[in-house]
Amino acid sequence: MLKGCPVKLCTVCRCQIHVARREAAEQAGPSLQITSSGQETSQQSSRGLAYIRIVGTHNTVNKIFHIVAFECMFTNKTFTLEKGLIVPMENIATIADCASVIEGVSRSRNALLNGDTKNYDWDSGYTCHQLGSGAIVVQLAQPYMIGSIRLLLWDCDDRSYSYYVEVSTNQQQWTMVADRTKVSCKSWQSVTFERQPASFIRIVGTHNTANEVFHCVHFECPEQQSSQKEENSEESGTGDTSLASQQLDPHALRAPSGSSLPSSPGSRSRSPNRQHQ
């Protein structure tokens, strides 16, 4: 509403609003049109479109719904859409993309999503949950069409894990996309499945040959092939000369709250094909 206008807009003010909206439509291109009533409508074009409708339903003081500020971000970047959802090519399970870990124990928040796949040990750099209780759950910023994920299981010794993965859009109905409950899994895990909508990914550990905790160091969605090639190249050039100087810490893993989780065995040696900083 223009400054000084009464509650019911006069003809002049309404015209000025129409002109302002028409100018915005011309700048936006063919995806935005203004009807004679002053309401904005969208038509199909080569750019992505979205409608945002805010409907007030209650006010404890009067019969009016008030909004003080509203922002809508845009980008010129093009996206692949399937069933109205973005099919991501880059890893969207990152802090920068507003993904978060909503279930799981870690010494540092979102350690699973910080992209660090080298600096982890017996104390830090991973997210875990007790076998038979809970899970590791990652929430994406919005629903996406996804068909792959990649995990790095904790691999500072020769243990192996078993697990399964489920996806959901509402945390009520879950679809299992990977069942590795009868498989001995170590280190990097590539999980591919039929592409489907998801905004929540749940990883449930079912077995650990060392103790009763499931540990995951890194999570990405979708799987990044370029990162996988780089890591394979680094591992092939890694020697064993520095392993003798590295000491294992046999004390128990602890949650941030201070409650003890089952301890990791200090008698096991590190896997010779991995080196950690």
Q: What CA–CA distance (Å, rounded) separates 48 from 72?
A: 14
Q: Is omega for the bond preceding 222 within 30 degrees of 0, making it cis?
A: yes
Residue 188, pLDDT > 60, answer yes
Q: What CA–CA distance (Å, rounded) separates 47 from 160?
A: 47
Report, as an integer, the average pLDDT of 188-200: 96
Q: What CA–CA distance (Å, rounded) separates 53 from 71?
A: 13
Residue 105 contacts residue 262 (beta carbons within 8 Å): no
Model pTM above 0.75? no
Question: Poorest-confidence range of 41-50, 74-83, 93-102?
Answer: 41-50
- What residues contact 87, with CB distance under 8 A and at least 6 apart? 79, 80, 81, 144, 145, 146, 195
The confidence band for 229, taking pLDDT boundaries of 50, 70 and 90, is low
- Per the listing, tokens 């590791």 go with 136
Helical H runs in the chain?
11-28, 225-236
The confidence band for 109, taking pLDDT boundaries of 50, 70 and 90, is confident
Residue 253 contacts residue 169 (beta carbons within 8 Å): no
Among 191, 185, 113, CA closest to 147? 191
The confidence band for 71, taking pLDDT boundaries of 50, 70 and 90, is confident
- At 230, list the tokens: 């780089």
Is 258 or 144 the better-scoring residue by pLDDT? 144
Q: What CA–CA distance (Å, rounded) separates 32 from 50?
A: 11
Distances (CA, A) of 73 to 76, 106, 208: 11, 32, 45
pLDDT digits (tens, 9 = 90+) for 8-34: 444 444 444 444 444 444 454 444 443
- What residues contact 134, with CB distance under 8 A and at least 6 apart? 103, 104
Task: Give the number of other CB atoms < 10 A from CB of residue 224.
Answer: 16
